[in-house]
Amino acid sequence: MEGYGMNIKNNIVIIVNIINEKNELSIIDIVYNLF
């Protein structure tokens, strides 16, 4: 499951980057767009 954990960490980094770039979007909007 180590690979799965690394994928989660990478996804968190991507989400943080999106939040930094798109501060006007709420977290719910970002998660909805990712999935």
Residue range(s) defining the domain that contains residue 12: 2-34
What is the pTM assigned to this prediction? 0.43
pLDDT number for residue 2 = 65
pLDDT number for residue 5 = 73
pLDDT number for residue 35 = 65
Query: Which residue is it, tokens 């994928």?
Result: 7
Q: What is the pLDDT of residues 1-35, one digit of tens each?
A: 566 777 888 888 888 888 777 666 667 777 777 76
Q: How many domains, the chain?
A: 1
- Indicate the Cα dihedral angle 10, 35, 22, 17, nearest 10°: 0
